[in-house]
Structure 1
Amino acid sequence: MPQIGGFEILIIVVIAILVIGPKDFPLVLRKIGSWIGSTKRYFTDIQQSVTKLDESVDEKISIEEKYSEKSKDENK
């Protein structure tokens, strides 16, 4: 995956200022930052949900294993 260096970022910023204009540039950056923050929160929520689901599945598996061990012991 290609990496973006400092010079490339500088070129992107200069082009963005020329296209958007210096007055609206801070507003656009603020909006982009807001989108990035929302996206990060969304993915964090998804990650937490998957983690909780994984923990509940592990808990259920351990309960089922204990139950199966008890039933095996009772059948002996």
Structure 2
Amino acid sequence: MIDLGISKIALIGVVALVVIGPEKLPRVARTLGAWLGKAQRYVSDVKAEVNRSMDLEELKKMRESVEGAAQAVESSIQTQASDFEKSWAESTVELNASLEPSFPVYKRPQKNWRLKQGAVPNWYKARSGVRTKALSGAARVARYRPTRLS
């Protein structure tokens, strides 16, 4: 790359001052700075894109290797499962033939939900003074409102 020291930069500045002139130099310097900034941003974007593409390629390779390993494991599990099912079927054929269900099949009891009973009998509730009917707020106020004396 170009080796620019302080002395070379100062020399370039003096030449630019003489050639361009003191009136146009600030505007030229701003334009040159803007172009350099755009160039730096463009270079950094290109670097980032290259890094992204390299990372993407690495991730694709890693994904392919993981998928290959997963398929190998899945195929081995399927073969082992089919072998197990065959051996299980062979070993249980004799057992199933000799055993017949000697117990009755469970039947769920038929409950009538309309006849649901409470745990405490009604006669006990009546004797102990437990409320069996709920009153709304307005009904309770009307029932317990004191009578007016006229």
Larger helix fraction of residues: 1
Q: Which residue of 1 aligns with 2:36?
A: 36
Q: After superposition, give the CA deviation of every residue in 1:33-74 in whole Å (9 maximum; x if it has no partner).
A: 000011111111111211221221111110101122234443
2:31 is paired with a residue whose SS is: helix
The amino acid that maps onto 1:62 is M
Q: Which residue of 2 aligns with 1:10?
A: 10
1:40 is paired with a residue whose SS is: helix
Moved over 4 A (4+): none
Aligned residue pairs, count: 76
Give the TM-score normalised by structure 2: 0.45
Gaps of 5+ in 2: 80-150
User: Of the two, which has the highest radius of gyration?
Assistant: 2
After the TM superposition, which residues 1-76 of structure 1 pair with which residues of structure 2 at under 5 Å, given as runs?
3-73=3-73, 74=75
Separation in 1, partners of 2:17, 2:2:
24
Q: After superposition, give the CA deviation of every residue in 1:6-53 in whole Å (9 maximum; x if it has no partner).
A: 122111110110000010011110000000011111111111211221
Between 1 and 2, higher relative CO (CA 8 Å, sep ≥ 6) is seen in 1
Separation in 1, partners of 2:69, 2:2:
53
Which deviates more, 26-35 or 50-59? Answer: 50-59
Identity %: 29
The amino acid that maps onto 2:40 is K
Give the TM-score normalised by structure 1: 0.83
The amino acid that maps onto 1:37 is G
